[in-house]
């Protein structure tokens, strides 16, 4: 079925989530008030002696005892009072109602992407600002699940359309149109490539203002979105991160009726470093620390304007990262004894091997012969690559319903790569694009603001759910998508 129309959209199974619960806090031990039950026995001789004391002495002792008891009671009361203040609230008292806006006139969503921010990077180095968003917001506890393939353009566009790549049309970072042969690249801004309805278009459709600062697809003039000069930045990777933050903060200085209701903000790091050195290099740690710093700059700017608690910040990544080295390679030329696969048949090599044989060549035969060679034990790392007809790919990948997807897809194991022929080129870096079931491909999701509960953890979910979250916060009707409205409601606080 073709991708020229969104009529191919079919409902997907809702991603169910278990209710967020937490163990009840143990009751703090309380300090008992001083007991007044102790008594003493006074002997007759003592009593006789005591009866001869002056009356003033008796009064003094009585007053002293009363004073001691009063002081002790006061101390005990104070202890219990402050202990009760410091006792965490139980899970039964978790927020359920969105907090009211204090300064902004209407809801605002700021969607931030840190490209290639693998889940767990936040633990590599102190990240006090990201940590602040997490502690006072809602986090996907074990990370955000990207769509397949776990590549930059397909995932960024899935986040803002709520559609899997087979439905929004951006099925890879690079691919060819099966009919015209025209090639798509990350510089392609013609609207016919970009299907679905991105959030900036949805927002404008409802009479609101949207702004985009470097987001794949945002420069595409499509429908009601004309990429206005004031609110649509043309991609330029050399613009310092601080300048990007300053521009976004400047939008909040506009008159209230001119502040965009939806904003995007994009950072290339730590993806840039991850490809060069892999996920475990000190360079990644430095990049993560810098992302945290610019998030801190953003927070400070919002606080200075008195609107930090009013803005709904959604911070995500598009995918994770895994280390790769030369020993983890599969070479297509090694299959020559079974079948010759010319480079002209291949649209992408790794980690997603996409093959489109010419007319007259059976795709089924190609897959069968390739698998025979890969399983023979005579192809280096052959068992690490598995070939599929696209119709036979696991349903969970949602990677079938588009003519743009080549008929043959190869999935390579985590950390392995595919190349045409053996070379002496040395590589030990990082990659992504693998099966989204690999934990290394997970990224982050943090929601902070009036619509997100403080300190809440939710189960991992796919990024196609974010579109409905944004439309729910802005109280607008979204376009048809692969997410579920019920999931968005389960994550967000309810509007009173």
Catalytic residues: 152
For residue 348, which phi and psi values (nearest 5 degrees)?
Answer: -150, 145
Which residues, in sequence order, are CB contacts of 408 under 8 Å at separation 6+? 354, 355, 356, 357, 363, 366, 367, 387, 388, 389, 390
Distance CA 75, CA 377 (A): 78
Residue 264 CB-half CA count within 13 A:
34
Q: Are 231 and 217 in contact (CB under 8 A)?
A: no
Distance CA 194, CA 180 (A): 16
Which tokens sit at 196? Answer: 């679905």
DSSP code of residue 450 = T
Distance CA 260, CA 347 (A): 39
- Give the 3-state secondary structure of 268-332: CCCHHHHHHHCCCCHHHHHHHHHHHHHHHHHHHHHHHCCCCCCCEEEEECCCCCEEEECCCEEEH
């Amino acid at each position: 079925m073709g991708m020229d129309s969104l009529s191919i959209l079919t409902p997907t199974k809702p991603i169910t989530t278990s209710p967020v619960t937490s163990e009840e806090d143990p009751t703090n031990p309380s300090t008992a008030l001083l007991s007044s039950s102790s008594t003493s026995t006074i002997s007759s001789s003592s009593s006789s002696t005591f009866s001869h004391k002056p009356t003033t002495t008796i009064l003094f002792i009585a007053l002293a005892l009363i004073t001691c008891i009063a002081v002790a009671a006061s101390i005990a009361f104070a202890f219990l009072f402050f202990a009760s203040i410091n006792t965490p609230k139980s899970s039964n008292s978790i927020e359920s109602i969105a907090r009211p806006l204090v300064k902004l006139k209407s809801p605002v969503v700021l969607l931030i992407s840190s490209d290639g921010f693998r889940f767990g990077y936040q633990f590599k180095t102190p990240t006090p600002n990201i940590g602040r968003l997490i502690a006072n917001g809602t986090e996907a506890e074990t990370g955000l699940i990207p769509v397949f393939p776990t590549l930059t353009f397909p995932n960024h566009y899935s986040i803002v359309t709520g559609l899997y790549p087979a439905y929004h049309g951006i099925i890879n970072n690079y691919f060819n149109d099966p009919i015209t042969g025209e090639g798509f690249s990350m510089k392609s801004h013609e609207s016919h490539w970009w299907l679905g309805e991105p959030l900036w278009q949805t927002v404008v459709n409802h009479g609101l203002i949207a702004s985009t600062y470097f987001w794949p697809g945002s420069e595409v003039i499509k429908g009601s979105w004309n990429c206005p000069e004031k609110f649509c930045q043309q991609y330029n990777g050399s613009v310092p991160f601080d300048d990007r933050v300053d521009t976004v903060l400047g939008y909040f200085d506009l008159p209230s009726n001119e502040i965009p209701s939806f904003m995007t903000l994009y950072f290339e790091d730590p993806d840039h470093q991850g490809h060069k050195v892999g996920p475990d290099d000190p360079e990644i740690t430095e990049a993560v620390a810098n992302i945290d710093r610019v998030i801190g700059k953003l927070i400070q700017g919002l606080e200075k304007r008195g609107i930090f608690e009013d803005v709904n910040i959604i911070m995500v990544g598009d995918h994770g990262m895994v280390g790769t080295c030369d020993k983890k390679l599969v070479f297509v030329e090694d299959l020559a004894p079974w079948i010759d696969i010319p480079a002209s048949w291949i649209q992408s090599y790794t980690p997603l091997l996409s093959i489109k044989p010419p007319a007259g060549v059976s795709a089924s035969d190609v897959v069968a012969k390739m698998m025979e060679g890969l399983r023979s034990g005579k192809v280096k790392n052959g068992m690490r690559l598995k070939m599929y007809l696209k119709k036979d790919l696991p349903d969970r990948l949602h990677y079938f319903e588009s003519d743009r997807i080549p008929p043959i897809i190869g999935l390579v194991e985590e950390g392995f790569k595919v190349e045409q022929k053996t070379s002496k080129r040395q590589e030990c870096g990082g990659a992504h694009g693998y099966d989204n079931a690999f934990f290394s491909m997970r990224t982050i999701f943090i929601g902070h603001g009036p619509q997100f509960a403080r300190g809440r953890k939710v189960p991992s979910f796919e990024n196609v759910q974010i579109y409905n979250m944004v439309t729910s916060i802005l109280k607008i009707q979204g376009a048809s998508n692969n997410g579920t409205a019920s999931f968005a409601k389960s994550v967000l606080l309810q509007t009173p």
